[in-house]
Structure 1
Amino acid sequence: MIILGIDPGLRTTGFGVIEKQGSKLRYIASGTIATGTGGALPPRLKIILDGITELARTYQPHCAAIEKVFVNMNPESTLLLGQARGAAITALVGADLGVAEYSATQVKQAVVGTGKAAKAQVQDMVSRLLMLPGLPGTDAADALGVAICHANSHDALALLGTVSPQLQGLRMKRGRLV
């Protein structure tokens, strides 16, 4: 299974492509889509849309995962990030990919083991998990982390999907199945 991970950003959107075979993860590619620091918003969103569309065409992923919006103290920044994220999701859906969403805390937990990990810790662990010769840039490392998070979560979600129908009709009483 090939997974495309996205770390959305208006100036720089990170991407990471990995392959999962059984329990093994293999690095395929990573990098950034840069829109610059100025200019009108619509052309910058188009750069993100076109860039991710090209990534999907080039790497032919089976699925995609994207980081959820981090709400910060500046509402304008949050709205701009949301628009960049929307352009990325539109590109992924336009490429007929299923899109999973993970919070930064979930990604850090999956990659480092703690949801409060620093960016440098994420970079280091991504490099170790994928056996990279060096550290990827922060945006690419975050995107690879999103892909790793999805690779690890995908199996658990699939297992839940097979168990869920068997649980229908069961009831709980005082915290126990009856």
Structure 2
Amino acid sequence: MIIMGIDPGIAITGWGVIRAQNRQPSCVDVGVITTDKADALEERLAILFTDMNQLLKRYRPDVVVLEQLFFNTNAKTALTVGHARGVIMLAARQFGSRLFAYTPLQVKVAITGYGRADKNQIQQMVTKLLKLDQIPQPDDAADALAIALTHGFSTRLG
């Protein structure tokens, strides 16, 4: 099973693709999509949609997994992340991938076994679980792999 994890954002969207085969996860690729804050929102969303479509065609994931939007004290940030999630969900649905979402708490528990784990603890475990030489950068990319792994663990890795 090919799982694409997404850490949605309007400025930076992290993505990570893992292969879950014989109960063993492996990292296929990881990266970020960035948009210029000087561009209008609709332009940034169009860039995100186009880049997501390219990633979907390249990796052909069976499943696309996003971080669940949670209440944010900054309403503007929550709205723009919501727009980004919508564009990503549309691209994945049009491609034919199944969609799932997990809360940050679910990701922390799945990856570290501890609901109050910090970013560094999650990144260290992602690196260890996927047998990577170093922590993926930036944080958004590592978070996307954590989200993909969370789904893999919830399905017992294919």
TM-score tier, shorter chain, comes to: over 0.9
Runs of 4+ in 1 over 2 A off after TM superposition: none
1:152 aligns with 2:153: yes
Distance 1:13 1:71 in 2: 18
Between the aligned partners of 1:62 and 1:74, the Cα distance in structure 2 is 33
Shift of 1:6: 0.5
Q: In 2, Cα distance between the equivalents of 1:117 and 1:38?
A: 34
Give deviations 1:101-147, integer Å, cap 9, x for gaps: 11111111111111221111111111000000101021011100110
Q: Distance in 1 between matches of 2:111 and 2:144?
A: 11
Distance 1:94 1:29 in 2: 22
Equivalent in the alignment of 1:80: 80
TM-score computed with the length of structure 1 as normaliser:
0.84
Higher relative CO (Cα under 8 Å, sequence separation at least 6) belongs to 2
* Partner in structure 2 of residue 99 of structure 1: 99
**Residues 1-150 of structure 1 aligned to structure 2 (within 5 Å):** 1-137=1-137, 138-150=139-151
Aligned length: 157
Cα shift readout 1:58-78 (whole Å, capped 9, x = no counterpart):
011111111111321111111
What is the letter of the counterpart of residue 100 of structure 1?
Answer: F
CA–CA distance in structure 1, aligned partners of residues 11 and 24 of structure 2: 32
SS of the equivalent of 2:155 reads helix
Q: Which has the larger radius of gyration?
A: 1
Gaps of 5+ in 1: 159-178
User: Cα RMSD between the aligned structures?
Assistant: 1.4
Identity %: 39
Q: In structure 2, do the counterparts of structure 1 residues 7 and 95 end up closer, same or farther at CA, with 3 Å as the change threshold?
A: same
SS at 1:142 equivalent? helix
Q: Residue 23 of structure 2 contacts residue 156 of structure 2 at CA under 8 Å; is this kept in 1?
A: no
Contact 2:33-2:48 at 8 Å conserved across structures: yes
Q: Deviations over 1:145-178 (max 9, x none)?
A: 110000011249x9xxxxxxxxxxxxxxxxxxxx
3-state DSSP of counterpart to 1:39:
coil
Query: SS of 2:91's equivalent?
Result: helix
Unaligned 5+ segments in structure 2 are: none
Q: Secondary structure at the match of 2:53?
A: helix
